[in-house]
Amino acid sequence: MNAGAWLVRHAPSWLVPAAAASALVEAGLLIAQAGLIAWLANAVLIEKAGIASLSTPLLELLTALIARAGLVGIRSLTGARASAAARLRLRHKLMVSLLRAGPARVPASGQVLSAFERQVEALDGYYASYLPRTLETLIIPVLVLATVFSLNWIAGLALLLTAPLIPFFMALIGMGAESLSRSQYQSMAQLSGWFLDRASNAATLKLFGAEAAELERVREMTDSLRQKTMRVLRLAFLSSAVLEFLTAIAIASVAIYVGMSLLGYLKFGPSSGLDFFSGLFVLLLAPEFFQPLRQFSASWHDRADARAAVAEIQPLLNLEPARAGGHKQVAAPVHGGCSIRIQEIRFAHPGRQPLFEQFKLEIGAGEKVVLVGPSGVGKSTLMQMLAGFIEPQSGRILFDGVDMTTLSDESLSSHVAWLGQRPVLFHGTIAGNIHRGWPEANADQVRDMAVLARVTEFADRLPEGLEAPVGEGGYGLSGGQVQRIALARALLRPRPIVLLDEPTASLDPAGEARVIAALEAVLSRRSATVVCATHRSATMQWAERIIEMPVCRRIELAS
Partner 1 sequence: MRRWVSLLLPEPGQRRWLLLALLLASIAAVAAAGLLALSGWFITATGLAGLGLLASLDIFAPGAGIRAFAVGRTVARYLERLIGHEATFAQLAALRVRLFSSLLGFDVMALQKMRRGDTLARLTGDVDTLDHFFLRLASPTIATLALTALVAAGLYWLAPGLGMIVAVMLLVLGPLQLLALQAACRRPGVSLAHAAVEQSTGLAETLSGMAEIKALGQARQQVEQASRSARLRLGFEFGLRLRESLARFGLALVGNLSIWLVLGLGLMLFEAAELTAPQVILASLAVVAVAEAWPGLAAGWSFFETSRQAGKRVLALERNSQAAIYGRMRTSFDQPIIMDRVSFRYSPAADPVLDDLSLVIEPGEHLLVEGPSGCGKSTLGMLLARMAQPSAGSIRIGAVDYQQVEPACFRKQLGYLAQQPVLFQDTLGHNLRLARPDADDSLLQATLESLELGDFLRRLPDGLDSWLGEAGHTVSGGEARRLALARLILGDFRVLVLDEPTAGVDLATSLKIAARLEPWLAGRTVIMLSHDPKSLPGFSRRIVLEPWAAGREFTPRAEVRPCP
Site for partner 1 in 148-207 (CB under 8 A): 188, 190-207
- In the list 510, 524, 545, 551, the residue contacting partner 1 (rule: CB under 8 A) is 510
Work out whether strand 368-372 and strand 416-419 pair parallel, antiparallel, or are unpaired: unpaired
355 or 417: whose CB is closer to partner 1? 417
Indicate the residue among 414 and 534 with the shorter CB distance to partner 1. 414
User: Under a CB-based contact definition with an 8 Å cutoff, are residues 306 and 123 in contact?
Assistant: yes
* Choices 46-54, 138-146, 156-164, 166-174; region in contact with partner 1 by CB under 8 A: 46-54
CB of 559 to partner 1, least distance (A): 26
Identity of the amino acid at 122: A
Pick left, alpha or beta for residue 408 (phi over 0 → left; psi -120 to 50 → alpha; otherwise beta): beta
Minimum distance from residue 525 beta carbon to partner 1 (Å): 20
Question: Interaction with partner 1 in 328-347: which residues (CB under 8 A)?
Answer: none
Considering only residues 18, 22, 102, 515, which one is a binding residue for partner 1 as defined by CB under 8 A? 102
User: Which residues, at least 6 apart from 400, have a Cβ–Cβ distance to it below 8 Å?
Assistant: 333, 338, 339, 365, 496
- With CB under 8 A as the contact rule, the residue among 5, 46, 142, 161 that binds partner 1 is 46
What is the number of residues in the chain? 559
Q: How many CB atoms within 10 Å of residue 497?
A: 25
CA distance linking residue 263 with residue 271, whole number of Å: 10
Q: Which of 423, 432, 496, 503 binds partner 1 (CB under 8 A)?
A: 423
Round to whole Å and give the CA distance between 433 and 467: 10
Contacts of partner 1 in 23-42 (CB under 8 A): 37, 40-41
Q: Which of 190, 445 has the CB closer to partner 1? A: 190
* Sites for partner 1 among residues 256-295 (CB under 8 A): 256, 258-260, 262-264, 275-276, 279-280, 283-284, 287
CB of 203 or CB of 558, closer to partner 1: 203
* From 326, 337, 395, 437, residue interacting with partner 1 (rule: CB under 8 A): 437
Which range, of 137-145, 327-335, 502-510, 520-528, touches partner 1 by CB under 8 A?
Answer: 502-510
Contact (Cβ atoms closer than 8 angstroms) between residue 296 and residue 240? no
Of 4, 5, 14, 51, which lies in the binding site for partner 1, with binding defined by CB under 8 A?
51
Find the binding residues for partner 1 in span 459-498 (CB under 8 A): 471-472, 475-476, 478-480, 486, 489-490
Residue choice 4, 5, 53, 113 for contact with partner 1 (CB under 8 A): 113
Q: CA 175 → CA 163, 172, 297, distances in Å?
A: 19, 5, 11
SS3 at position 548: strand
Burial class (CB in 10 A: 0-12, 13-18, 19+), 113: exposed
- Residues β-bridged to residue 557: none
Q: How many residues bind partner 1 (CB under 8 A)?
A: 139
Q: Report, in Å, the least distance between residue 251 CB and partner 1.
A: 6
Q: Is 511 one of the binding residues for partner 1 (CB under 8 A)?
A: yes
3-state secondary structure at position 539: helix
DSSP structure string for 13-24: TTHHHHHHHHHH
Nearer to partner 1, 12 or 354 (CB): 12
Q: Taking the complex as a whole, how short is the minimal distance between the CB of residue 557 and partner 1, in angstroms? A: 25
Q: Decide if residue 118 touches partner 1 (CB under 8 A).
A: no
DSSP-derived 3-state class of residue 49: coil
Closest distance of CB 352 from partner 1, Å: 20
Handedness of CA 95, 100, 102, 104 (dihedral sign): negative
Q: Which of 61, 39, 29, 43 is nearest to 279 (CA)?
A: 39
Q: Which residues within the stretch 210-249 sit at the binding site for partner 1 (CB under 8 A)?
A: 210-211, 213-215, 217-219, 222-223, 225-226, 229-230, 233-234, 237-238, 240-241, 244-245, 248-249
CB of 549 to partner 1, least distance (A): 21
CB of 490 to partner 1, least distance (A): 7
Rounded CA separation 406/391 (Å): 12
**409 in contact with partner 1 (CB under 8 A):** yes
| Whole-angstrom distance, CA of residue 9 vs CA of residue 415 | 40
Residue 475 CB, nearest approach to partner 1 (Å): 8
For the bound state, the minimum distance from the C-beta of residue 459 to partner 1, rounded and expressed in Å, comes to 14
CA dihedral sign, ordered 472, 478, 482, 485: negative
Q: Measured between alpha carbons, how far is residue 518 from residues 181, 216, 401, 444, 480 in Å?
A: 58, 57, 31, 18, 10
Closest contact distance (angstroms) between CB of 322 and partner 1 is 7
Cβ contact 82:135 at 8 Å:
no
Q: How far is the CB of 208 from partner 1 (least distance, A)?
A: 5
Minimum distance of partner 1 from residue 28's CB (angstroms): 16
Residues 57-86 touching partner 1, rule: CB under 8 A, are 58, 61-62, 65-66, 68-70, 72-74, 76-77, 80-81, 84
- Exactly one of 100, 447, 536, 553 binds partner 1 (CB under 8 A); which one? 100
DSSP 250-308: HHHHHHHHHHHHHHT---SGGGGG--HHHHHHHHHHHHHHHHHHHHHHHTHHHHHHHHH
